[in-house]
Amino acid sequence: MKQSDVIICGGAVIGSAIAWNLSQIAPGLSVTVIERDPGFRHSSTALSASGIRQQFSDPLNVAISRFGVEFIKGAKRRWGVDLNLREQGYLYLANTDSGADILRQNHAVQRREGADTALLSPGEIKARFDHLNVDDLTLGSLGLSGEGWFDAVGLMQGYQGDSGARRIRGEVAGLRLQQGKVQAVQLASGEEIACGAFINAAGPRAADIALMAGIELPVEPRKRTNFTFDCAHPPAGDLPLMIDPGGVWLRPEGRHFLCACAPVDDPRVAPDDFEPRYREFEDIIWPALAARSPAFEAIKMQAMWAGHYAYNVLDQNAVTGAHPGISNFYFANGFSGHGVQQAPAIGRGMAELLALGGYKTLDLSKLGYERILRGEPLLERCVI
Ligand SMILES: Cc1cc2nc3c(=O)[nH]c(=O)nc-3n(C[C@H](O)[C@H](O)[C@H](O)COP(=O)(O)OP(=O)(O)OC[C@H]3O[C@@H](n4cnc5c(N)ncnc54)[C@H](O)[C@@H]3O)c2cc1C
């Protein structure tokens, strides 16, 4: 039987980030990445909006993204690849007093963590972004640097390029456990590979993989549809990613705009259902954007696609680290809407945990599976 020190199920941005960091920290380890869709056509990574922001309410999420943005900036030096980071910021808008209070509280956390964010009155928002209707607004919060969007597929490919990991095209179909440990990974082809440690990086299919070890993981595929549109008279200047109080967001994408919303009904979907939900554009997004700016009254949709969040039903936050009982089963799951930006820090942390026996760069322990067992959510107010 073949053998590998570490087997990673899923080779998109998270699995590849872990493999690459293992190659940096522990080059002697043999690492195998098993991927069922090597073109990554249906991976969340390839279908994402590729945003990175420091505007979270939990200090660890802020720190994770700050680590991520520095890593992305260093890609040119490290890999000779420009990940095309556009630091145009995120603009969160509030239209109630309670919404403004939340932005103020989040801002205090962000500043403590060193994030470059600023609160703006409606008048200050208008002064910066003249096309916006601010009459109903109570406050805004803008990222001044270290926030924006980048080439997420380029980041994944950078990690894949020089990790030295053995990559297998195949589907993990079962796990063989003995004495409370994963002994071997069974592929759909019938092949078995023995392992020292197993990492679940299967994105929206992560719960199926966990179940192979008898573990319940509250992560499910939830559909998100992204739309691009053309605008006859686009507002001038470098616009941020704007999040309207109702949850509709948009950002520039070349000469077009990219937008989406949180769906009204948000059921679990089948892992192979990628049918876009067109009505969200007509019924939710366009009316909200037209009310926010006359520039968006006349727009023409160009393209749409659906991807899946690996939605952590408990708290929409990542689950990382080892299972408390099956000690060589590791989670890197449940990233919901913020996994590409977290890949650098999670990849680093997971590699440290495996190779050095503990988190060194950032303490990720509060993302552990233990909170799932306790049913204690890790509150994050800034989820999109
Ligand atoms: C529409 C949309 C917009 C998003 N926007 C953002 C954003 O702006 N910023 C941000 O940070 N995040 C965003 N996200 C979230 C982000 O894309 C994900 O959190 C991130 O890509 C997760 O990466 P992953 O490697 O865990 O999962 P994935 O990219 O889904 O990769 C999992 C891989 O595992 C493989 N796999 C699954 N089961 C098996 C098996 N049995 N055997 C072998 N291989 C298997 C799959 O084929 C897949 O390639 C968005 C997501 C979506 C859908």
- Stated as kind and residue range, the H or E segment containing 68 is helix 59-73
| Gap from CA of 104 to ligand 1 centroid (Å) | 31
- Among residues of the chain, what percentage have pLDDT more than 90? 96
- Among residues of the chain, what percentage have pLDDT more than 70? 100
- Cβ atoms of 336 and 314 within 8 Å: the answer is no
User: Is 254 a residue whose pLDDT tops 90?
Assistant: no
Say how many C-beta atoms besides its own lie within 10 A of residue 321's C-beta.
20
Same domain, 255 and 290: yes
Q: What φ, ψ does residue 13 adopt, rounded to 5°?
A: -65, -40
Q: Which of 18, 32, 45 to mutate to test the pocket of ligand 1 (most atoms within 8 A of CB)?
A: 45
- Stated as kind and residue range, the H or E segment containing 17 is helix 13-25
Using DSSP, state whether 371 is helix, strand or coil. helix
| Sequence letter at residue 343 | A
pLDDT digits (tens, 9 = 90+) for 172-224: 999 999 999 999 999 999 999 999 999 999 999 999 999 999 999 999 999 99
Ligand 1 pocket at CB < 6 A: 9-10, 12-15, 34-37, 40, 43-45, 47-51, 171-172, 201-205, 209, 224, 226, 307-310, 335, 337-341
- Write the burial class of residue 344 (CB in 10 Å: 0-12 exposed, 13-18 middle, 19+ buried): buried
Same domain, 206 and 330: yes
Same domain, 227 and 103: yes
Nearest atom in ligand 1 to 156's CA: 25
Query: What are the distances in angstroms from CA 49 to CA 121, 205, 258?
Result: 28, 20, 8
**Which pLDDT does position 372 carry in this prediction?**
98
283's tokens:
């019924």
Residue 162: pLDDT band (50, 70, 90) is confident
Least confident of 9-13, 104-108, 264-268: 264-268
User: Is 12 a residue whose pLDDT tops 90?
Assistant: yes
| Gap from CA of 266 to ligand 1 centroid (Å) | 18
Mean pLDDT on 245-274:
95
Same domain, 191 and 126: no
**Which pLDDT does position 255 carry in this prediction?**
85
Which of 264, 285, 312 terminates a domain? The answer is: 312
The span from the CA of 219 to the CA of 146, in Å, is 29
Same domain, 331 and 298: no
The contacts of residue 384 (CB under 8 Å, 6+ apart) are 243, 247, 249, 262, 337, 338
Residue 17, domain CATH? 3.50.50.60
CA 355 to mean position of chain CA atoms: 24
pTM for the full model?
0.98
Domain assignment present for residue 380? The answer is no
The span from the CA of 68 to the CA of 338, in Å, is 11
**Which pLDDT does position 174 carry in this prediction?**
98
Query: What are the distances in angstroms from CA 322 to CA 358, 373, 379?
Result: 11, 13, 21
Same domain, 333 and 306: no
219's tokens:
């992560």
- Cβ atoms of 198 and 7 within 8 Å: the answer is yes
| Gap from CA of 132 to ligand 1 centroid (Å) | 33
- Write the burial class of residue 183 (CB in 10 Å: 0-12 exposed, 13-18 middle, 19+ buried): middle
- What range defines the domain where residue 334 resides? 2-49+153-218+314-374
Residue 49: pLDDT band (50, 70, 90) is very high
Domain assignment present for residue 381? The answer is no
Q: What does the mean pLDDT of the chain come to?
A: 97
The span from the CA of 312 to the CA of 220, in Å, is 7
The span from the CA of 150 to the CA of 142, in Å, is 18
- Cβ atoms of 188 and 175 within 8 Å: the answer is no
User: Is 141 a residue whose pLDDT tops 90?
Assistant: yes
**Which pLDDT does position 270 carry in this prediction?**
98
pLDDT digits (tens, 9 = 90+) for 62-112: 999 999 999 999 999 999 999 999 999 999 999 999 999 999 999 999 999
Residue 261, domain CATH? 3.30.9.10
**Which pLDDT does position 22 carry in this prediction?**
98
